[in-house]
Chains A and B, each alone.
Chain A
């Protein structure tokens, strides 16, 4: 009886993941070895798609895959770094005894729950070149206006900053929880030696939140790799295609135009491999908790 009961609880979920996560993924792996286009029968081509994308066949590689992957890497590194710096700073401030902290904390987490598609449009309004608030503030400070949507470099910055705005609260709540887990008496005894807040942060707070930070880095990496919705609405990938992310390119290859499902599947498996590596590191770090 007991044996049956424990599987009754577990199996529906396990089967769900098998059917709707694992099976599509394996199907995608199969598709990546074909030259499938919509309306044509798929033919097995082995690793030819991968060879073409990675330029192992000497055909010059897939330039657009390389350039969009380049922008994705910039976003992944930039957004992970900036959200961690900003999120930690906010958490440090909020780890003090201040009035209205709970209410302010709730407001700070709001961007996390906004639809990324809507957040992209929020960026369109905020970064509006003619009279948007960002440009008005910059001009007020005497820094001049920036062509956030039409200038290639500024458009990339706009996508990055919008993503950073949405995800900083995520780092904030994790780091704050880690800071609050530090026992008070550590600070008390350290205060006997120094009153300097920077030293306290450097020698007490930082080492003790380091493990949580490692986990945050991995979670941010894996989340930023998925980025697609914000550039779709904020810049539509433009000007030209400088703000197209790698995922955006997969979407266009497989689901627009000539519907090259085989090539798109091979492109996506290259991201899947990266995601598997990062998530393995993550599970390796947190798995002890789940035994």
Chain B
């Protein structure tokens, strides 16, 4: 495991700078300017979410008046949240349950397949060339999904998998497998090989070493892989819009269908948007140090 991608200050340089800063006030001003820039950039990423959050506590009348501060500028209301979870609760909970089951199934299956393949790619040499095998696994991520929608519709129709849980799990496992393979391969590649070799000398089998020694130590990477796969499966819309209808419609379908049913109601759309993004966004906070590797497919060793 190389060092996680945290903010690494320009350490030795900054030690030298620190001495200078004491005497040169403009350097401190520069730091303040940088801090303001960083805060501004962070606010830029966060503000749209906050705006949607504040709008979700408005009545429809208030939702188009441009105000932002609750209590001071407008009277907050829970009416949208009640509509989503109480009066419209049956539909909401069903869609959320579907999303949760589809994403869990896909993240379990993708992480299982990805862990096995990742271990193989990190530990063994294959005749066909390991880098060709990595390309094989990554190819899915580089294809426009629209290219495989139509064949999947026809195949799923013949296999009676349209609007079923197994069908959606298969789709989302396929999309998230590249994340799992890459995260696990990188983790195992950095894993000290002494432990494994010692156990092999002691007569353990390859499977025994994998199951009893390597896997327990790989928990952080397994969790990261599972979370990233879950988040991307949770967000998938294109295939869900074609391959599900009544029974297994996931939550993004509900989000996308909002305004065609009710006309544009900013307050209500905001509520659904916040619900849709909350889980993956909060989960992402847990896997910060795996994000660079996980999302960039080997572009950068984070």
Interchain CB contact under 8 A, A133 and B142:
no
Q: Given that A113-B231, A288-B131 are known contacts, is A25 also in contact with B148, CB under 8 Å in the complex?
A: yes
Q: Given that A17-B136, A254-B149, A287-B135 are known contacts, is A104 also in contact with B300, CB under 8 Å in the complex?
A: no
Cβ–Cβ < 8 Å partners of B266 in chain A: 124-125, 128
Whether, in the assembled complex, A77 has its beta carbon less than 8 Å from a beta carbon of chain B, the answer is no
Closest to A215 in B: B299
A102 to B148, CA, bound (A): 39
Closest to B157 in A: A38
- Interface flags, B166-190, vs A, CB<8A=1, else 0: 0000110110010001000100000
- Interface flags, A22-36, vs B, CB<8A=1, else 0: 111101100100000
Interchain CB contact under 8 A, B288 and A105:
yes
- Interface flags, A239-280, vs B, CB<8A=1, else 0: 000000001001100110000010011001101100110110
Cβ–Cβ < 8 Å partners of B123 in chain A: 6, 9
Whether, in the assembled complex, A10 has its beta carbon less than 8 Å from a beta carbon of chain B, the answer is yes
Whether, in the assembled complex, B219 has its beta carbon less than 8 Å from a beta carbon of chain A, the answer is no
Residues 54-105 of B at the A interface (beta carbon under 8 Å)? 55, 64-66, 68
Q: Given that A122-B273, A131-B66, A232-B256 are known contacts, is A110 also in contact with B45, CB under 8 Å in the complex?
A: yes
Q: For chain A, which range describes its interface: under 10, 10 to 19, 20 to 34, or 35 or more residues?
A: 35 or more
Interchain CB contact under 8 A, A28 and B147:
yes
Interchain CB contact under 8 A, A115 and B38:
no
Whether, in the assembled complex, B216 has its beta carbon less than 8 Å from a beta carbon of chain A, the answer is no
A188 to B264, CA, bound (A): 56
Closest to B113 in A: A13
Q: Counting chain A CB atoms within 10 Å of each CB, which of B64, B123, B124 scores highest?
A: B124
Interchain CB contact under 8 A, A279 and B139:
yes
**A-B pairs with beta carbons under 8 A, tally:** 327
Of A49-57, A152-160, A223-231, the one with at least 4 CB within 8 A of chain B: A223-231
Residue from A28, A112, A291 within 8 A of B151 (CB atoms): A28
Whether, in the assembled complex, A40 has its beta carbon less than 8 Å from a beta carbon of chain B, the answer is no
Residues 11-54 of B at the A interface (beta carbon under 8 Å)? 11-14, 16, 31, 34-35, 37-39, 41-42, 44-49, 51-52
Interchain CB contact under 8 A, B134 and A125:
no
A-B contact pairs, 28 of them (CB 8 A): A5-B206, A9-B117, A10-B126, A10-B133, A16-B113, A17-B174, A17-B177, A21-B140, A28-B150, A97-B7, A109-B288, A110-B46, A113-B277, A121-B255, A125-B266, A125-B273, A165-B48, A173-B296, A174-B299, A177-B5, A177-B302, A184-B10, A188-B12, A229-B237, A255-B153, A279-B138, A283-B138, A289-B131
Q: Which residues of B contact A (CB under 8 A)?
A: 5-14, 16, 31, 34-35, 37-39, 41-42, 44-49, 51-52, 55, 64-66, 68, 113-114, 116-117, 119-121, 123-124, 126, 129-131, 133-140, 142-155, 170-171, 173-174, 177, 181, 185, 205-207, 210, 231, 234-235, 237-238, 242, 252, 255-256, 258-259, 264, 266, 269-270, 272-273, 276-277, 280-281, 283-285, 288, 291-292, 295-302
Q: Which 6 A-B pairs have the closest CB atoms?
A: A9-B120, A13-B117, A97-B9, A131-B66, A115-B235, A279-B142
